Structure 1
Amino acid sequence: MDKYLIATELIKNKINELRKQVPHKYFNKDVPAEVEVNKFYLNGTIVDRAMIVLRANGCEHYKKTGGCSMCSHFNGTLIGDKINDTNYINQWNSVLNSSCFGETHSFDLNDYPIVCIYNLGSLLNPNEISFEALKYIFSTLNKYKKIRKVIIESRGEYVTKEALSVIKECYAGIVEVGIGVESTNITIRELCHNKGCKDIGVIKAAVSILHEFEYKALAYVNFKPCYLTEKESVEDAIQTSIDCFEMGFDAVSIEPTSLQEYSLINHLHQIGYYRVPWLWSLREIIHGIYDRENVEKLDIRIGGYFDEQVLSGSQGEGFAGRNEIFPHETSSNCNVCTSEFVEHIKRFNMTYDVKELDGIEECPHCYNIWKDCFKVEDSREIPQRVIDIL
């Protein structure tokens, strides 16, 4: 049998094995999984952003194939139960009327020029959330005149004229749709990410449709998937980001891999075949994109690095108290320089100015270790790496 097919089968079997270990959880279907607020850069100014994560039915890709290698958002979804339109509407209303916050917070969407609405999957997939529920949510936004942009997420195949028409007919504002491209290299996208998107044309078509509706297209580029060396991961993130801009994406968000329970990548970490990305590598990616694009400023973000406040749904302290969708490990250097580096990334996210990443001194404790890691090569083809590990 072809090595690619063998690798594909091994990945599928291991992911399905891990999914069977996920414990059944019970959630209140009438309140969102999480609401947090943070700072965001918009048109040259720093503004407040609200992120509302709806408790949802879960990603269809996960239900059909086990989902992506790095993702465990299914930990926050119900198994064997369904969230219906009434539940979604109740969740949304609990945000608008502040009831999901208890007595701790009075919440007004007019305080947030950017509003993100997520559902632990694709908000444009009617099998995950109905168009009726989607229509209700967006129709309520019209009265909040200070909202300047709404950000949602969807797989490319669900970005259809039918779905966007539902929003367009009831909401007059700007919408940005985040699409998980992950990699424009098909082998990396399918074997390393298990994305289930063999045709990049699906993503190109989604960008075209979004622009037809005068909406914005945001590409998510996952940095450091399974089976790649640190250097290969950096090079792929740079090339994918450039490809995304050439496809017409308005913005790119570099998403460093984090570790969540029951994901394939977390399993590989546990058995010694994966380390989370180095923060030093993020600087290499941003510089690499700017060096190739030769422009002064691009809409490039580094996902996960914003000053946030959780209003509903707790991320907790330490491993035991974490929210079910929150990672237990993220990108890092060493204990000495990680915190300072993270602050530089946050400042970059508030300016999109690459110079914010240049003022970081080479840490005597880990910089040379990272350089050695960056030199590591693997002569094996990716399918062989998968076979050897799994």
Structure 2
Amino acid sequence: MELLKTLPLAESGPGLQCLNGVRVLDFTTSVAGPYGTLLLADLGAEVIKVEKRKGGDDARSWGPPFLDGESLWFLSMNRNKQSMTLDLAHPDARHLVQELVRVADVVVLNSTQRIQTKLGLDYATLKQINDKLIHVSVTGFGLSGTRADLPCYDLIAEGYSGVMDLTGEADGPPQKVGTPAADLLAGQDIAMATMAALIERNKTGAGKQIDVSMVATMSRFMAPRIVPYLGSQEAPHRSGGTDSVIAIYQVFGTSDDPITLGLGNDAIWQRFWTAVGNPEYAKRVGFETNAQRRVERATIVKDIATLLRTQSRSHWLALFEQHRIPAGPINSIDQLVGDALLLESGLFFSTLGEKGLVPQVGLGVRFDGNSSVLRSAPPALGQHTERILKETLSMSSTSIAQLAQTAII
């Protein structure tokens, strides 16, 4: 809690307004869908998060760690949203969903085609209600094909895509990326595709069905590995922190903490050796091009490793910054969130939620110099149900009370 109190406290405000006027119905749970709608919300869209009456979004139970009884995973994905609860399996809930769809621009789901059809949330059904609707699905394998009905999590998508096979030390086992990469990349695809469809709709007036597959997204992420293999049949292999294409692109030890170093072109190669006081090394025969340096990689890496162990991380990073050589620390999470420049940029902040301070990570993208996105803290389960029904659907208090009494909301 003490660390949380050190974060800059952000006040709720108008935030970014790029998507102001766009209404999104978010039926998703966990990470991929909620991250996609978080991006839309941060850009100004109104996001109505439709959750299960009991338990809500699955991520609400993911922990520990919890903060004031709330999952910190959930809190990381759901600011700037309104939460309403609805029992989608209740026969009388379908009318409410249809009324919400009539006044929505976008619907986002993370259920398979079979489940969507069962609940009346499939594109064919909702298009009849609102032909301008942008209908977005995110699933493990897409809405069609022999795997369409299979469940999928980030781990499974990372395994399918080949990223795990290429992550880790050469003599070690495959490793998952240290953040839910497939989920987050699929979430970015949700936001990107939705915005593209909104632009097209402005021209044509027509809605669109969008089908995001986590496995396809993560496989596209592997394009810099896949295309060279397809063109050369030279299969890449796990190599730890090194790169199979750029000769010198890896982790090196120093006299204290390790650093990353990327000598990605001939000019940087020359600058590096000038910076460390040995410009003649860069001119050695057989070291002139990256292709040649790849052949001599073992020798070069050994020489650089010996050199860098003579001084501290801070010494080398200061020198490399002066000479514009790509290098950096290997931050732990506590070091990352303590980075003065990132804190100054507003990337890490806290906001006041229903139960107290809530930590947040901002959008990190600036619009005319502005990256302030906070309009509201992550919502409590069902916090806005009554308000949405009153203000969005113009329902009376009596009707809302009846819905609560019959356990629809």
> Could you state the TM-score of these two structures normalised by the residue count of structure 1?
0.28
Q: Give the alignment's TM-score, normalised by structure 2.
A: 0.27
* Greater relative contact order (CA < 8 Å, ≥ 6 in sequence): 2
